[in-house]
Amino acid sequence: EVQLLESGGGLVQPGGTLRLSCVASGFTFSDYGMTWVRQAPGKGLEWVSGITSGGVNTYYAGSVKGRFTISRDNFRNTLYLQMSSLRAEDTAVYSCTRGLWSMDVWGQGTTITVSS
């Protein structure tokens, strides 16, 4: 079964850092570009960041550029999102998804709360 399982969420203070992980299973991870999408409480979907299958090219939303870093370990079938200088507006459920121009598989998400 194709699955994406996120972890690493939690409560963090403004200005803090956090690293999210997403373990993929059931497909050849290294064949796919991957994307992070977030959803703030009661709000719509927001595209955050994407990375090509080999990890060479990365892309970011303007709202996170310079603060978040996407990376991947194709040996460990794991996608990462390193988040720094966190703000209250980063509070959201962060979901790992498969694909770059479209997303056909979604994880359940991990919740980040930025608050003092």
Partner 1 sequence: DVVMTQSPLSLSVTLGQPASISCRSSQSLVHSDGSTYLNWFQQRPGQSPRRLIQKASNRDSGVPDRFSGSGSGTDFTLKISRVEAEDVGVYYCMQGTHWPRTFGQGTKVEIK
Contacts of 64 (CB under 8 A, 6+ apart): 48, 49, 83, 90
Cα distance between residue 104 and residue 100, in whole Å: 10
**Which amino acid is located at 98 in the chain?**
R
Judged by CB under 8 A, which stretch of 9-17, 21-29, 39-47, 82-90 contacts partner 1? 39-47
- Count CB atoms within 10 A of the CB of residue 105: 16
The reply on whether position 1 binds partner 1 by CB under 8 A is no
Q: Does 27 bind partner 1 (CB under 8 A)?
A: no
> Which range of residues in 9-17, 19-27, 44-52, 73-81 is near partner 1 by CB under 8 A?
44-52
Among 68, 95, 110, 112, binds partner 1 (CB under 8 A): 95
Pick the binder of partner 1 from 59, 71, 87, 113 (CB under 8 A).
59
What's 51's DSSP letter? E
42 touching partner 1, by CB under 8 A: no
Distance of alpha carbon 23 from alpha carbon 29, whole angstroms: 9
Binding partner 1 by CB under 8 A: which of 18, 34, 83, 103? 103
